[in-house]
Amino acid sequence: GAGGGAAMAEDEALVSVDYEVSGKVQGVFFRKYTQGEAKRLGLVGWVQNTSHGTVQGQIQGPSARVRELQEWLRKTGSPQSRISRAEFSNEKKIEALEHKDFQILK
């Protein structure tokens, strides 16, 4: 998008957002790929399978990078996955990262 001088600072602001991805996302290395993509983008947070067949977690980092991972979760995922829906919630600005790295939780 087009913006004034404030756009840069906005992209650098740290944000935290929760996500849940539905579809064929378990048993297709979705968590491993999500972790790899998050690390590539320099993001922190976590990812886990849920009991009802979705994958959920949290992403934290510079907002521009978080947007990239959101787009990836919405459209790409792991090679064998079939994403039907990606939902994002609880987005907020944070002062500092609350995780050291991006973990796969059991």
Helices (H) then strands (E): counts for the chain: 3, 5
**Strand ranges (DSSP E) for 9-51?**
14-24, 44-49
As for how many domains the chain has, the answer is 1
Which CATH number fits the domain that encloses residue 90?
3.30.70.100
pLDDT in tens, the chain (106 residues): 455 555 557 778 999 999 999 999 999 999 999 999 999 999 999 999 999 999 999 999 999 999 999 999 999 999 999 999 999 999 999 999 999 999 999 8
Name the residue range of residue 21's domain: 4-104
Residues labelled as active-site residues: 31, 49
Residue the block writes with tokens 């090679």: 79
Record the pTM.
0.89
**CA-CA distance, 41 to 63, in Å (whole number)?**
11
Is the CB of residue 45 less than 8 Å from the CB of residue 58?
yes
